[in-house]
Structure 1
Amino acid sequence: MRAGKLDRIITIDAYTAGEPDEYGNSVPGWNGFATLRAQLVSMSTDEYLRAYGEISESVIVFRTRFLDGVTTTHRVGYEGRHFNIKEVKEIGRRKGLELRCEEVRS
């Protein structure tokens, strides 16, 4: 993996129970897990019909250096947008990761 191709900066966030509020209840949220340099491999938007209507889905693939512990329970932040990780593939023998992500719709 060439360093020059890693021209984007992404953040990996982990969902946590969070800190208790003034009433003692835990407030869940996303906290930073890692900040990485990555390569944007592909980005596409597909529109199709589902049982509940027409939807559009944005899929994006990032390649980055290997980081132990990244799973599909994490999400990626990139350019102010958030993407759920749908698939994590190891490249080589702990050389890199390929993250296939889907945009979070709010």
Structure 2
Amino acid sequence: MLNIGKLDRRITIERETETVKPSGSVVKVWTPVATVWSEVLQQSASEFFTGFGEAETGTMIFRVRYLPGIKTADRVAYDGQHYGLKEIKTLGRRDALELRGEALR
């Protein structure tokens, strides 16, 4: 269940779109889909092994009211940082979404 009182952080969900300039060139830009209140459940740094050694990634879990159409191709903007969505879970009977994101560099 979603505790509405804990939705105390503002996040923006963004989607990559293509825009055509007057010159005819195509530019990809991130466009806001929704700005919503969120609960930040977890903020951690997890280490994992890559082909070149150890690396560190910042992961965040955001819990928001249910929004249809959110995809893992979208990203979340929060506190000056962007997070690529790795997993989206529907909580309850479409009561809420849990968005798991990884910090983008």
**What is the match of residue 82 of structure 1?**
82
**What is the match of residue 9 of structure 1?**
10
TM-score, structure 2 length as denominator?
0.93
> Which structure dedicates a bigger proportion of its chain to strand?
2
Structure 1, unpaired ranges of 5+: none
Structure 2, unpaired ranges of 5+: none
Secondary structure at the counterpart of residue 4 of structure 1: helix
Instruction: Note the aligned Cα RMSD (angstroms).
Output: 1.0
What number of residue pairs does the alignment pair up?
104
Question: Mapping of 1:46-61 within 5 angstroms?
Answer: 46-61=46-61
Question: Mapping of 1:3-42 within 5 angstroms?
Answer: 3-18=4-19, 20-42=20-42
Cα distance in structure 2, aligned partners of 1:97 and 1:91: 6
Percent of aligned pairs with the same amino acid: 39
TM-score, structure 1 length as denominator?
0.92
Runs of 4 or more, structure 1, over 4 Å off, are: none
